[in-house]
Structure 1
Amino acid sequence: MRYRQFGRTGWSVSEIGFGAWQIGGTWGKVDDAASIRTLLHAFERGINFVDTAELYGAGHSESVIGEALRQWKGGKIYVATKAQPTVWPNPDDPAPRVRGRFPEWHLRANVEASIRRLGVERLDLFQLHSWGPMGHHELDWLETLNDLRVEGKIDQIGVSLRDNHPEEGVALARLGLVASEQVIFNMFEQPPRDALLPAAKASGTAIIARVPLDSGSLVGSWGEDSYATFEPGSQPHQMFRGDRFAETLRRVAVLKADVAPFYSQLAEAAMRYVLAHDAVSVLIPGMKSSEEVDMNVRYSDGAAFPAVLMDLMPRHAWVRNFYR
């Protein structure tokens, strides 16, 4: 496992982290004992960064991680969690309010609940879920979180940007108001490369790249019948509804053709594409088994992403919003 600096925090984090949405239960049925074994296996393989949220199973993901932390006897594991706003922004609103959406009572209640579920004295990284573009000057949220830092309840502050809007974090990165920003970044969702990654690198803001495998499509194993296997009501069943699944398969097939001369597996190309950007501190694929951990960890070897293939990537850019 290779490690990277987490922005200007002084942390050294595994460049491949553990995305813990899937172990919360909203991606289908989960076995908590199996999830704990998977987490412990990830820690043994050198993963020392886990990303979760209150939203992931109404705190269930946090509770499972907390049990894994209690059983772990090794080195430091950094855990990042999130608080959702009191009102989710409309995905069609270009400038949703931030002021008042993360009030003091709400943030304090979330911090205390996350501390309890994780079984820790202080949260390593506390992020605001679905932070909006008005938030760099509507700063009531930052006042509360700074107080919580002084009180020793949280160490670092971060935000998780709205899906498909990496440009909303550029001003925040330039100002250096938070330690980290989390953003969708993968072979389809490429816009963070334009302005956010350069701004973050210049200010020492850590970048957490989420869904590097595009919620499963970039693993490359889906077929025409795969959607029927998704549990009704689960996150992937909702995301790829209607004609979205067929369109995704079509685009994956085209991408595979470009990747084939360089990689035998699309998943390897997808992971290495994100790792190729040095502004990224950590990418956080979801993992539900030890086998998936091993698959992801083996890409942390420093191998370069082919320049010829990188030049082909813009033709595969595909920005969409699953929540519309």
Structure 2
Amino acid sequence: MDHRLLGRSGLSVSAIGLGCMGMSEFYGPSDDAQSLATLAAALDLGVNFLDTADMYGVGHNERLLGRFLAGRRDEVVLATKFGNVRGPNGERLGVSGTPDYVRKACDASLARLGIDTIDLYYQHRVDPATPIEETVGAMKGLVEAGKVRFLGLSECSVATLRRAHAVHPITAVQIEYSLWSREPEAGMLDACRELGVAFVAYSPLGRSFLTGTVTSPDSLAADDFRRANPRFSGAALQQNLQLTQQLAALAATKGATSAQLALAWLLNKQDHVVPIPGTRRIKYLQENVAATAIRLTGAEIAALDALFAPEKVAGTRYPEAGMAMVGL
């Protein structure tokens, strides 16, 4: 397994990490035994970078990771997040970055995970009502208290990153980035490189769309988040399917799957990007890890850039309410 450094932290992580969200929520039913087996397989394959958040499954995902980490804590670089507030029944209660909430959320995450220190602690969404300096100031306090090692931001703007970094070094920024979500190329990737910040790409397979396995909303579970995602329905879906068909054809020329080519594009294009594809199945985990061995030429990268030029992708990556909370 190739490794990459997380910014200037000195943390060495596998070139591909594992997003754990789907093991608890958003993509239909899950099975804890299957998820735990996949987590074990990940470490056996050299994947040491695990990503969770307190809101995934309303705490279930962190508790699941806590079960897994018992006895294997030293093998894992663990990232979790706070900021998306949910009630006990899963109701959405908004976003909070107040200092008091930051401290309480961290203590709750540590308890669910059953650990003493979080390796990388992200603000999941920027709180528009709380200055980022106050939020990061409280996060800095967690570092000083030994509860957190390094800090991150998720779905922030370049301006917010710079303000946060002035309060305390930011180790990583996590934003959706894939062939069909190219927004980070408009300044964020360059800013991260300038500041020595790692860029963690979530949903690098377009929430499975780039794998070619999702061709209709009818193939998704009734409670699957993607049913409400504009890119997965109507005319937008049909336009986007034309892109994945061409991606599959290009992948075949490399003896790879569509998923592997999509991940290889990220890995070959930017050396400070760490994709964290999510899966709860060992076979997909193995497929994703194999992408680290694929080498692309400049011409191949350019061809994929052109195929998935932003104007060719139809639909936003979140419904309207979700889009209002990114890039703040």
For normalisation by structure 2, the TM-score amounts to 0.84
The range that moved more, 182-191 or 48-57, is 182-191
**Alpha carbons of structure 1 residues 287 and 199: separation in structure 2 relative to 1, 3 Å:** same
Q: Which residue pairs with 1:309 in the alignment?
A: 300
Q: Which digits, 9 at most, give the CA deviation of each residue in 1:277-297, with x for residues without a partner?
A: 334342100111111111111
SS in 2 for 1:155: strand
SS in 1 for 2:240: helix
Aligned to 1:322: 318
Please name the residue that 1:249 is paired with: 241
Q: Is the 8 A contact 1:255 1:316 kept in 2?
A: no
Matches of 2:307 and 2:124 in 1, distance apart?
A: 30
The one-character-per-residue Cα deviations of 1:55-75 (angstroms, maximum 9, x if unpaired) are 1111111111111111538x4
Residue 66 in structure 1 maps to residue 66 in structure 2: yes
Equivalent residue in structure 1 for 2:150, among 149, 156, 160: 156
Aligned partner letter, 1:107: V
Map of 1:91 onto structure 2: none
Residue by residue over 1:128-162, the C-alpha shift from the partner in whole angstroms, topping out at 9 and shown as x without a partner, is: 11227898x64110111111111111111101115
Is 1:144–2:135 an aligned residue pair?
no
Name the SS for the 2:300 alignment partner. Answer: helix
* 1:284 and 2:276 correspond: yes
Cα distance in 2 for residues equivalent to 1:71 and 1:104: 32
Q: How does 1:10-29 map to 2 (within 5 A)?
A: 10-29=10-29
Per the alignment, do residues 241 and 71 of structure 1 end up closer, same or farther by CA in structure 2, a change over 3 Å counting? farther
AA matched with 1:231: A
Counterpart-to-counterpart distance in 1, 2:160 and 2:177? 13
Aligned amino acid, residue 241 of structure 2: L
User: Which of 99, 102, 105 lines up with 1:107 in the alignment?
Assistant: 102
Q: Which amino acid aligns with 1:83?
A: F
Partner of residue 217, structure 1: 209
How far has the Cα of 1:117 moved from its partner? 1.0
**Partner of residue 84, structure 1:** 83
Amino acid of the residue matched to residue 48 of structure 1? N
- Contact in 2 for aligned 1:4/1:13 (Cα 8 Å): yes
Q: Which residue number in structure 2 is paired with residue 94 of structure 1? A: none
Change (3 A) 1:117 1:44: same
The amino acid that maps onto 1:229 is: S
Whether contact under 8 Å (2:261, 2:291) holds in the other structure is no
**For the Cα contact (< 8 Å) 2:178–2:266, is it kept in 1?**
yes
Write the letter of the residue equivalent to 2:50.
Answer: V
Matched residue, 1:235: 225
Question: Post-superposition shift, 1:259?
Answer: 4.8
Mark the CA change 1:207 to 1:296 in structure 2 (over 3 Å): closer, same or farther. Answer: same
Instruction: Return the offset for 1:169.
Output: 5.7
2:262 alignment counterpart: 270
5+ residue gaps, structure 2, are 87-93, 321-328
Report if aligned partners of 1:198, 1:279 keep a CA contact under 8 Å in 2: no
Separation in 2 of the partners of 1:46 and 1:314?
Answer: 33
Residues 167, 192 of structure 1: 8 Å contact kept: no
Distance 2:134 2:252 in 1: 50
Q: 8 Å contact 1:207–1:279 — kept in the other structure?
A: no
Following the alignment from structure 1 to structure 2, what is the Cα–Cα distance between the partners of residues 43 and 25?
Answer: 22
Secondary structure at the residue paired with 1:41?
helix
Q: Judging changes above 3 Å, is the alpha-carbon distance between structure 1 residues 177 and 85 closer, same or farther for their aligned structure 2 residues?
A: farther
Relative distance call for 1:260 and 1:40 in structure 2 (3 A) is closer
Q: CA deviation at 1:85?
A: 4.3
Q: How does 1:160-179 map to 2 (within 5 A)?
A: 160-161=154-155, 167=158, 171=162, 177-179=169-171
Per the alignment, do residues 173 and 243 of structure 1 end up closer, same or farther by CA in structure 2, a change over 3 Å counting? Answer: farther
Q: Is the 8 A contact 1:172 1:178 kept in 2?
A: no
Query: Distance in 1 between the 2:5 and 2:308 partners?
Result: 30
| Structural RMSD (CA) | 2.6
Separation in 2, partners of 1:178, 1:86 = 22
1:78/1:124 contact within 8 Å kept:
yes
Q: Take 1:72 and 1:248, find their aligned partners in 2: how far apart are those partners?
A: 41
1:183 to 152, 167, 175: 175
Identity of aligned residues (%): 26
- Whichever residue aligns with residue 153 of structure 1, its letter is K
Distance change (3 Å), C-alpha of 1:233 and 1:2: same
Contact 1:2 1:300 in 2 (8 A): yes
**Closer/same/farther in 2, CA of residues 41 and 194 from structure 1, 3 Å limit:** same
